Each structure stands twice: as C-alpha cells, then as structure tokens.
Amino acid sequence: MEAFLQGLSLILDPFNIMLIFFGVLVGVTIGALPGLSSPMAVALLLPFTVGMEPIPAIAMLASLYCAGTFGGSITAILINAPGAPPAVATAFDGYPMAKRGEAGRALGLAAISSVTGGIFSLIVFLIATPMLAKLATEFRPPDYFALAVFALSMLASISGKSSIRNLISGAAGVLVGTIGIHLTTAVERFTFGFSELTDGIHFVPVLIGLFAMGELLTQSTMANVALERISSIVIKLPSMEDLRKVRATILRSCGIGTFIGILPAEGSTVAAIMGYNEAKRFSKNKEEFGKGAIEGIAGPEAANNAAAGGAMVPTLALGIPGSGTTAIILAALIMHGFRPGPYLMNETPHFIYAIFIAMLLANFMFLGVGLAGAKIFSRITMIPRTLLWPSVFVFSVIGAYSGSSSLFDVGVMLTAGILGFVMLRHGFGPAPFVMGLILGKLVEESLSQSMIIFDNNWLRFFERPFAILFFALTILGLFWSQFVRAGGWLAGRVRGAQMERGD
C-alpha cells in the first residue's frame, strides 16, 4: 500500500498530470492522422525525454500509447482511412455507419469500448505484473534465452502479410544488435573501422528512422490520394440498448485483447482483428457485418485497447516487449536507467503503480478528448502533406542528433529510414525488426552466460523446466498449422481405414 500511495503522489503532481494530458492530445492527434502511428510518435518523443525525470517521461509515453490506439478509430469511422493499423477492423463497420448518418453513434461506441478494454487490461496489469515478476525471479540465463527465442518466434504473427518475412525481419534485427564489442570475448564485430560502432547501434536513431522516416518516404508515394470526408458529425453516446447488445462482445474482446497483449510481440493489430472475427462469429446478425454492425465496432476497439495494457505486463515484468510500441517504451526504460524485468517490481514497486495510474488517467482523458473533439480531430486530416511531412523530417533529425549530439546518429537514422521504406515496399514490417533489435542483446548475453554455466554442453538446456516449456511453445507456435494439417490428414486416413473395414 505504501508503494501505491507513493506512485499516486508522484502522478498527481500537477506537472505530471499536464504531461499525461499532453501525451493524450498527441496520441489522439497522431492516431487520427492517416500515415502516422503511435510507435512513430513515441520514437520521435523519446529523445526529448532525456532531460526529464524517469517516471513523468515513461508516464507521458505510456499515455500517448493508450490514446494513439483509440485515435486511429476517428478517421477510420469518418473517412475510411484508419489512422493506426489496429483501426483497420473498426473501419469495416464504422465507415458504413458514418455514411448512413450515424458517425456520432459510431464514435461514441468506439470511445466507450476502448475505455472499457483499457481499464479491464489495466486491472489485469496491476494483478499480473507482480505475480509474473515474482515467478521470473526463479529464471536463470538458460530460461531467459528460451523465453527470448519464444518471443522471437511470435514475430511470425505480428503485423505484416507474411510470417516468413516477419521472421526474416526479426532475424535481421538480431544481427544488427550484434554490432559492437562482444561483452564476453571483447571481440569487435561489424564495426568496419567506425569507432562510433564499438558500443553498438543506438536504439533511438534506428527507431526514429524505421518508424518516422520510413513512413515519410512511403507516404510520399501517395501524395495525391484524396479522402472522402463525413462533414456532419454530432457526437452521440451509445444508448442503454446499444450497450446491452454489445456488452458480451466487449467483455469477450477485453479478454482476447489482454491475452494477446501479454503474449510477447503480438500487439494491438492482431488483437483488433481477432476481436472483430470473434464478434462476427458469436453475433446473431452476421449478415449486418460490413454494413454497419455495432458489434463490428465494439469488438475491435475493446480488443485493441485491452492489448495496450496487456502488452505492458511482459515489458515491465520480464523485459520482453509485448508490442512494437512497448519495444520503444522498453528502450526508454533502459535509457532512463531502469532494469526492466523481475527486479523492477522488487526495487521500484512505486514505479509500476505510477505507470498504472498514469495509463488509467489517460483512458479517462481520451474518452473526454475523443468525444468532445472528434470533429476537430477529423479536420486535422486536412493538414497538407507538404507541411506535415517536412515537419516530421525536421523532428526526426533533431531527435536523432539530440540523443548523443552526434551527426553519425543522424546518418544511422537516415539509413534506417531508407531501410524501413524498402522493407515496407517488400512486405517486411519494421516492428519485427525493432523487436529483434531489442531482444537480440538478451538472446546473445543469456546464451553466452548459459554456455559458460553449462561448460559448452547445450544439451543441459533441457535440464531446466522453464527452458523446456518455452522451447516447446516455440515449436508449437512455428509449426502449429502443420500439426493441424497433419492431424487432419491422420484423422482422414483413420476414418478411411474404418470405412474399408466396414466399421
């Protein structure tokens, strides 16, 4: 209780509340702008938090994360242009509702569903993080290696069109993470004579380049795309009858989103799509989906915001990012001197409670901001790209340079931007690359420590129950579809044999 009250007193400081509100405003604004995203905004703000106290800095970034997830639904409903990837599923039924004059009702449903999902996941976050952190104190280097491998295997189902491309992108991130001096052997790797690379690639310029510059170059190819706009918007809160119809959908999606968020590397996009699919599966009016079904809005919106809170659980308790955005927040934690993982709860429990309270406040704030300002935020989409993207470029350069006051980092940022553009053009999502970059250090260090402990006998990994569990989950995750097909084929052969015998 003492730690909770300490965290509460830190967050209720007027300056910190102002920062949380600022994070909500930026999050909803960025989320409402097609082409911009929460990971991009968090990456751009990251270098500007260097001079801030750690708790206000992380609270602001976490608030932006929550609000940005909801913000994408505004333009998804009003102009059929999802401001964020998780809002793609919301557009399926939100835009048809807006076209028939029910934009306000759709926005109200999205806001209520989002807040409900966010609060549900934060309650789980508050309960699960200490429990998971306590369990993780039993982990040893072999267990962390197996956990990191499992997290990397989950990249197969993160954003993107191809599981193979996601895994390749993640592997490339791990490879880039090996640049610099190996801590165990002191061998220099891939430095190519640049002294700036001896300490490895800094996270900040890579994150800014991949998410901001890569998206800038991609959007430059769509400069002349016109968007149809809904001009008449009168916000209307959902009626009690609406809430009665969608209550089961919201509760189901809260559970789905929180579970998906807790899984390493999954994130809001997967949760939103699953929330929509399950809402349609259990609906009594499946024929209405795609034409303006209210369950088609409530399902994905509750799920994607629930995933935001759920993704913070492995990030804080294990040091394993739950999504692309939390990978950047994890980098911010490291930059501010925290030790993400089980010792975070033991050493600084007030920090966990402070982040919980900040995200809780952010959910209520974006409810008010989203409902009161939806019409204003929809107008933000009218900002000319000729003004918007040069501003993003300037902030990207300033952010990359400010971290270490190094022009070399600006070059890294520009290189990462070109890489991000090429990756997006060929179906390789930047999020798996970032996850690989973040997890690469953990994979390498835990493997080196394990091999020293095991005297280079890798078979001893199978002496650890946790390691066996995570290796088994990795195999299931990678080959589940093959197992299902093999099971179906085997069942078919058995039925065929039974029919031949006349059973």
pLDDT in tens, 483-499: 777 777 777 777 777 77
- Report CA-CA distances (Å) from 463 to 7, 12, 71, 477: 40, 48, 47, 22
pLDDT in tens, 346-366: 778 888 888 888 988 998 888
pLDDT in tens, 288-338: 888 888 888 888 899 888 888 888 888 888 888 877 788 888 888 888 888
Burial class (CB in 10 A: 0-12, 13-18, 19+), 192: exposed
In the chain, the number of structural domains is 2
| pTM above threshold 0.85 | no
Is 500 found in the same domain as 370? no
Is 347 within a domain?
yes
Average model confidence (pLDDT) across the chain: 80
Which of 69-83, 233-247, 257-271, 299-313 has maximum average pLDDT? Answer: 299-313
Is 380 found in the same domain as 480? no
Is 484 found in the same domain as 371? no
Element (H, E) at 73: helix 54-78
Is 186 within a domain?
no
User: Could you please report the per-residue DSSP string of 253-295?
Assistant: HHHHHHHHHHSTT--HHHHHHHHHHHHHHH-S-GGGTTS--TH
Is 387 within a domain?
yes
Is 99 found in the same domain as 20? yes
Q: Supply the range of the domain harboring residue 73.
A: 2-151+212-397
Is 114 found in the same domain as 27? yes
Residue 223 in this model has a pLDDT that exceeds 60? no
Is 98 found in the same domain as 9? yes
Domain boundary among 397, 418, 444: 397
140: left (phi over 0), alpha (psi -120 to 50) or beta: beta
**8 Å CB contact between 340 and 316:** yes
Burial class (CB in 10 A: 0-12, 13-18, 19+), 63: buried
Is 485 found in the same domain as 341? no
Q: Residue 483: count other Cβ atoms within 10 Å of its Cβ.
A: 11
Residues 165/341/362/48 CA torsion (nearest 10 deg): -80
What was the pLDDT predicted at 155? 73
CA atoms within 13 A on the CB side of 105: 18
Q: Average pLDDT in the 469-486 region?
A: 80
Residue 230 in this model has a pLDDT that exceeds 60? no
